[in-house]
Each structure stands twice: as structure tokens, then as C-alpha cells.
């Protein structure tokens, strides 16, 4: 349900988190994560899959950060209900302002609603410290995603679902 507000905080300084369409997240995802490459490189296979949720963080009516969530098992954890975070992108002028944390809080809520026991991502090396601050742990060794760079698989245990 694109355009639906996932969470709006009462504090005017806090971001508004909205549920978006793939088309709405692509420009920022492309600009931050795939700059200089064709727009199609910013599209992911499961962008339109059932259960996929795209989130956008707005401040003063401007989209400044995005993240996409996919119902996807984590490699090496078959049979464990999981949600994958991908395409997390924050506009350079908005980094360090709490937008990423706000998105990850809504992502965690969504994953729990979907019955996930694990929330996981393939984090760029430069983003690993951000995820660690949120309680994620690195699983395995650093690996290279061709044409993108070094990444770490990271996960947050959500616990058993009821």
C-alpha cells in the first residue's frame, strides 16, 4: 500500500516513514548505491514480490532515505523465517540525522509482524558500524559483490515468533 504511513512520530523533528512503491525508491537508491550506472542496476529481483515492503523516510516533505524489505531466508540458515533488508540509501545531506535508525526500527517491526526470527542484510563495509550499533552481528567473512564492493552478511536475532 504505497503512500501509507508506516509510522509518524508526534515530534516535528522526527522523520515520517511511509510505505512506497518500487518506482518511488528507485531514484534515491540509484543515486546513492548505483551512481553512474544504468537505472536498471538499482532494480532488485524481488522488488515486486508479494510481501516486499519499500520504506521511505521524509523530513519536511522531502524523501531523504529508503530501504526495502524482502521475505527471504538467510543463506546458511535454511528453514528459519527471515526478512532481508536491501537497498538502504540515505541522501548525503541527511546522513547522521537519525533517518537510517528510524527506517531500521520500522523494518524490525515489519519483520516481526511477518513472523521473522531473523532480520538480515548484506552490508557494505562502510555501513557495518551502523548496523552493529543497532545490535546486528557479522556472520562469516567479508565478501565481494561484483561491481559493488566489499560486504559483510549481518543479522539481528528477533527471537521465536508466537
For the whole model, what pTM was predicted? 0.89
Predicted local distance difference test score (pLDDT) of residue 14: 79
Three-state DSSP at 62 gives: strand
Answer yes or no: is 162 within a domain. Answer: no
Predicted local distance difference test score (pLDDT) of residue 11: 55
Q: What is the mean pLDDT of the chain?
A: 90
Q: How many angstroms separate the CA atoms of 51 and 28, rounded?
A: 21
What phi and psi values does residue 81 have, to the nearest 5 degrees?
A: -60, 125
Identify which of 81, 74, 96, 25 has the alpha carbon closest to the alpha carbon of residue 54. 25
Integer-rounded Cα Rg, in Å, for the chain is: 15
Answer yes or no: is 27 within a domain. Answer: yes
- Give the pLDDT confidence of 66-100 residue by residue, as tens digits: 999 999 999 989 999 999 999 999 999 999 999 99
- Give the pLDDT confidence of 27-79 residue by residue, as tens digits: 999 999 999 999 999 999 999 999 999 999 999 999 999 999 999 999 989 99
Q: What is the number of domains present in the chain?
A: 1
CA 58 remoteness from chain centre = 15
The pLDDT-based confidence of 119 (bands split at 50, 70, 90) is very high
What phi and psi values does residue 42 have, to the nearest 5 degrees?
A: -95, -5
Answer yes or no: is 141 within a domain. Answer: yes
Range of the domain at 83: 5-157
Domain CATH for 98 = 3.40.630.30
Q: How many angstroms separate the CA atoms of 49 and 27, rounded?
A: 19
Amino acid at each position: 500500500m504505497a503512500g501509507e504511513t508506516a509510522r509518524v512520530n508526534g515530534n516535528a523533528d522526527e522523520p515520517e516513514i511511509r510505505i512506497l512503491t518500487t518506482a518511488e525508491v528507485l531514484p534515491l537508491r540509484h543515486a546513492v548505491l548505483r551512481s553512474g550506472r544504468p537505472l536498471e542496476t538499482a532494480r532488485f529481483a524481488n522488488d515486486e514480490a508479494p510481501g516486499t515492503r519499500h520504506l521511505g523516510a521524509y523530513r519536511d516533505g522531502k524523501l531523504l532515505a529508503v530501504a526495502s524489505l524482502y521475505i527471504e531466508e538467510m543463506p546458511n540458515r535454511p528453514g528459519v523465517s527471515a526478512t532481508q533488508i536491501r537497498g538502504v540509501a540515505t541522501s548525503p545531506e541527511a546522513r547522521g540525522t537519525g533517518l537510517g535508525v528510524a527506517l531500521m526500527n520500522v523494518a524490525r517491526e515489519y519483520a516481526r509482524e511477518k513472523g521473522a526470527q531473523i532480520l538480515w542484510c548484506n552490508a557494505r563495509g562502510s555501513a557495518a558500524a551502523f548496523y552493529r550499533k543497532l545490535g546486528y552481528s557479522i556472520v562469516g567473512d567479508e565478501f565481494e559483490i561484483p561491481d559493488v564492493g566489499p560486504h559483510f552478511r549481518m543479522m539481528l536475532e528477533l527471537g521465536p515468533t508466537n
